[in-house]
């Protein structure tokens, strides 16, 4: 979709809003955290600038390399950051590249001349990378000349811009190398798999753009991974659906543009039951909360399919219209919007607010999808038939819910018998521990703070909701108990305002069965209570694996990594290390002290940063495609140390 623009890109395109201030003092304001997420954010900021060049039609390849010493190098073949003197009165005479790299809110994305479409509109990007690096180097190849400038801690120039020779073979573009400051970050160890997932998504969204990644660190695979997709988001949909059984082979694809706005949509139905498979982007940014482009698509999709169902006589005159959730069951769709002045709601850019984009997407979907259905009647009838089946299941689920309410007399009676509730009625301080097994549940009940901590034991493994429709799911006793205890409904009826506990904590044994139960629960929450995860209410308890004694004090160690660190720090320690038993075999006071006491425990918060990747992983791990699951496990085995569960 990238179109080469006729706009100039020189120092006059660069505008300075204000100088670089207190980034090092408050890095979380700019990159979210000083953990591994913030570390990766530095890489994304630099790569995003190169992707903006690609969206403008000037870049076809980006090379990202993790250097042996822990630095990161990003090379693109775009136009190269301008090197001529700034015209802006605040920075007059400073080379434009120096301004971009060292001045906060300085870049070519503010006045619309440098870039008509871009993701990074806040202008904090690469200057923040510089501020949080111990060293940064930049090479710019323009007009057959290579220019070089470098900075040291805090973005201070230590080698002014200079010509260092000819650009090799007439090359143009920008090379940035940076070394994150270890005094700022908790760790400077990149997670290769997380970076690869992000780069793959960028390649999907920019048809034909080639992104290469090489990890040169010791102990890592030095082979170069290449992402390039001629089909763009059509390939993205196929990738997400690789472990699902398609309802029909074709991927519906269309695009439409008006003035400074354009949208591209790809969609495909599978035989599965998930109805939350829409993944949206605006200028390459993952709009995880949706927005106007998603609203326009959903409205038009429901309208178009219902009209076709009536024309095809698959819905009779007296039949109720198909609901949006019926039509979206088994649907995977990628919506990629591009516009000159996006309005993102919230600091995280999670939701697109441009009303004109809603109208554009609605018109495009009404016209293009109607045309596609008319031209593919066999596939169209299959899509409608699936939606009709989903409607029947929805009606059955409604009856099941009503029966459950009558049976439990929820409005007047209490919670399920298995639930040992807390006395507090304030959700913000209340916690629900979902505990594997009755014996562990008994220990947890003794160990809890009864004012704020509720205990719900579950017996065995709950239903795998990846393979069940909601009407079947609601017949499962353990799932009914979960829904009732959390109190906010399920599926499309889920209301986050009614959540009874702001911490829902999964507490399972650290063995294979415990991991399986954890995954089943996470699948249920992600598919049927997604907002519970998105609002950061889901946690995983971290019971320790080992204990030992230092002096007269008993010390608990969370995992093998903690054990190794303890041994390295205490080389003369001679006491034994005890491998702790399962939760049900721990003394209640030991369980409370190590795993439940809010002052001493460690909880792992479950978050969904990239819903499309989470969708794909849940489908692979919990779906019916055994070969896809086997391949995923083999491909990711080397990164098992980075698993969060």
CA–CA distances in Å: residue 207 to residues 65, 204, 253 = 22, 6, 13
Q: What share of the chain is helix, strand, coil (3-state, %, to 5)?
A: 40, 20, 40
Pull the structure tokens for residue 302: 């429901």
Question: SS in 3 state form for 492-537?
Answer: HHCCHHHCCCCEEEEECCCCHHHHHHHHHHHHHHHHHCHHHHHCCC
The residue written with tokens 């969370």 in the block is 558
- Beta pairing, strands 173-180 & 72-76: antiparallel
Distance CA 54, CA 249 (A): 30
348's tokens: 């995280």
Indicate the DSSP class of residue 270: B
**Residue numbers annotated as active site:** 436, 509, 511, 513
Whether the Cβ atoms of residue 542 and residue 603 lie closer than 8 Å to each other: yes
Quickly list H helices, 16-169. 28-31, 36-55, 96-102, 125-131
Quote the CA–CA distance of 214 and 190 in Å, as a whole number. Answer: 12
The token pair at 615 is 């969708």
Torsion of CA 556, 562, 564, 568, to 10 degrees: -80
Q: Are 158 and 75 in contact (CB under 8 A)?
A: no
For the chain, the straight-line distance linking the first and the last C-alpha, in angstroms and rounded, comes to: 39
């Amino acid at each position: 979709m990238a179109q080469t623009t006729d706009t100039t890109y020189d120092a006059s395109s660069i505008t300075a809003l204000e100088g670089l201030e207190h980034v090092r003092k408050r890095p979380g304001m700019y990159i979210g955290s000083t953990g591994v997420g913030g570390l990766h954010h530095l890489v994304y900021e630099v790569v995003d600038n190169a992707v903006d060049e690609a969206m403008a039609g000037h870049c076809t390849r980006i090379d990202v390399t993790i250097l042996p010493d822990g630095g990161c190098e990003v090379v693109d073949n775009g136009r190269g950051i301008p090197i001529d003197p700034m015209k802006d009165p605040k920075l007059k005479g400073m080379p434009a590249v120096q301004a971009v790299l060292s001045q906060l809110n300085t870049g070519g994305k503010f006045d619309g001349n440098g870039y008509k479409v871009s993701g990074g509109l806040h202008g904090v990007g690469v200057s923040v990378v510089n501020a949080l690096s111990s060293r940064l180097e930049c090479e710019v190849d323009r007009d057959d000349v290579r220019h070089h400038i470098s900075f040291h801690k805090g973005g201070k120039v230590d080698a002014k811009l200079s010509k260092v020779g000819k650009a090799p073979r007439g090359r143009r573009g920008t090379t940035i190398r940076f070394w994150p400051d270890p005094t700022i970050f908790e760790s400077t160890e990149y997670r290769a798999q997380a970076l690869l997932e992000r780069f793959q998504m960028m390649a999907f969204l920019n048809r034909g753009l080639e992104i290469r990644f090489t990890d040169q660190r010791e102990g890592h695979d030095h082979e170069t991974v290449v992402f390039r997709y001629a089909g763009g988001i059509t390939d993205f949909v196929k990738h997400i659906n690789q472990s699902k059984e398609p309802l029909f082979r074709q991927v519906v694809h269309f695009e439409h543009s008006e003035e400074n706005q354009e949208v591209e949509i790809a969609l495909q139905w599978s035989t599965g039951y998930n109805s939350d498979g829409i993944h949206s982007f605006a200028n390459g940014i993952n709009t995880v909360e949706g927005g106007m482009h998603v609203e326009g698509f959903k409205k038009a999709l429901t309208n178009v399919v219902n009209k076709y169902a009536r024309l095809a006589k698959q819905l009779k005159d007296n039949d109720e219209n198909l609901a949006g959730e019926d039509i979206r069951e088994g649907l995977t769709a990628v919506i990629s919007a591009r516009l000159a002045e996006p309005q993102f709601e919230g600091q995280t850019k999670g939701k697109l607010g441009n009303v004109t984009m809603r109208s554009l997407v609605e018109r495009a979907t009404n016209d293009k999808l109607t045309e596609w259905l008319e031209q593919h009647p066999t596939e169209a009838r299959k899509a409608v038939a699936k939606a009709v089946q989903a409607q029947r299941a929805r009606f059955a689920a409604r009856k099941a819910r009503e029966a459950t309410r009558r049976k439990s007399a929820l409005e007047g009676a209490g919670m399920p018998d298995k639930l040992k509730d807390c006395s507090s009625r304030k959700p913000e301080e209340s916690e629900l521990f979902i505990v594997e097994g009755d014996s562990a549940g008994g220990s947890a009940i003794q160990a809890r703070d009864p004012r704020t901590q509720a205990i719900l034991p579950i017996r065995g493994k709950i239903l795998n909701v990846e393979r069940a429709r909601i009407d079947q799911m609601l017949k499962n006793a353990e799932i009914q108990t979960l829904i009732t205890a959390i109190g906010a409904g399920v599926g499309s009826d889920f209301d986050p305002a009614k959540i009874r506990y702001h911490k829902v904590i999964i507490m399972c044994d650290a063995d294979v069965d415990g991991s399986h139960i954890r995954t089943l629960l996470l699948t249920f929450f992600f598919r049927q209570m997604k907002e519970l995860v998105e609002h950061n209410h889901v946690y995983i308890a971290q019971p320790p694996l080992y204990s030992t004694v230092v002096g007269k004090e008993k010390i608990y160690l969370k995992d093998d990594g903690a054990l190794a660190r303890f041994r390295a720090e205490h080389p003369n320690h001679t006491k034994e290390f005890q491998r702790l038993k399962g939760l049900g075999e721990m003394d209640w006071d030991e369980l409370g002290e190590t795993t439940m006491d809010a002052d001493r425990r460690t909880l792992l918060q479950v978050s969904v940063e990239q819903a499309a990747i989470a969708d794909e992983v849940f489908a692979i791990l919990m779906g019916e495609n055994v070969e896809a699951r086997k391949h995923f496990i083999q491909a990711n085995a080397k990164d098992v140390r980075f698993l969060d569960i």
